[in-house]
Amino acid sequence: MRLLLATLAASLTLVGCAPGDAYERAGGESPPDATRYPSADATPASAAADIATGPRTLESSASAASTLPVAAADTAIFAGGCFWCMEPPYDKQGGVLSTTSGYTSGSVANPTYEQVSAGGTGHTEAIQVVFDPARVSYDRLLYIFWRNVDPLTANQQFCDRGSQYRSGIYPRNPAQKAAAEASLRAIAARFTQPIVTEIVAATPFYAAEEYHQDYYTKNPVRYNFYRSRCGRDSRLKEVWGAEAGK
């Protein structure tokens, strides 16, 4: 039994949103190249998403919204470190139709996880949230965003370090920009430290590889181990207290 548990623990240390550094900071050794990036054998079908572009757009981005008239669904884009961890708080919010992990605010078209993780494309790991504005407001999505990030640390979220893990809000129109800026002012009034979360107009969002989508449901044991060892929940509680997201 001890050997079995030790084997399981060893395998879990190889899981992380970042290649190498996250493993070390989460208490494990950096894995060999072959285990850093899970393989993606299947290429997801291309589908029309609100803002996702390139050959890796996913049906999940649009399918949940298919029951609504096109004009009725809206889209929001946020970055809060590891995109695996940003999907759950939105998926359980009523009115959210779908979440898609991906990359945004960079200079390379249709980047791969390996390219973004290397830090040279300018992208940040992000999520695209498709929602029904009649059921949930953009302001509510902003509330969820803030309580699930560390807005006081630049180019890092929890154990994941690098500009690809910076926190950000990417408004798609003037109304979203105004709401985002108002929310930042309200958050800034709570802290003595400066807020380093960026607010930048939305640029193309590229869906991440299929194995990243809904990772927390596909691999719950590994996901929870990674989240815990990365210190995400403990830091959120330190920053937000009882309001901390999960």
Residues carrying an active site annotation: 82
Task: Please name every residue paired with 104 in a beta bridge, in sequence order, or none if there are none.
Answer: 124
3-class state of residue 29 by DSSP: coil
Q: Report the alpha-carbon distance of residue 228 to residue 211 in Å, rounded.
A: 21
Encoded tokens for 15:
């899981």
Q: Report the alpha-carbon distance of residue 45 to residue 38 in Å, rounded.
A: 19
Distances in whole angstroms, Cα of residue 90 to Cα of each of 34, 37, 98, 193, 239: 32, 25, 8, 27, 20
3-class state of residue 15 by DSSP: coil
Q: Report the alpha-carbon distance of residue 245 to residue 140 in Å, rounded.
A: 13
Contact 121, 108 (CB under 8 A): yes
Contact 84, 223 (CB under 8 A): yes
3-class state of residue 130 by DSSP: strand
Give me the count of residues in the chain. 246
Q: Report the alpha-carbon distance of residue 20 to residue 176 in Å, rounded.
A: 35
Q: Report the alpha-carbon distance of residue 198 to residue 25 in Å, rounded.
A: 25
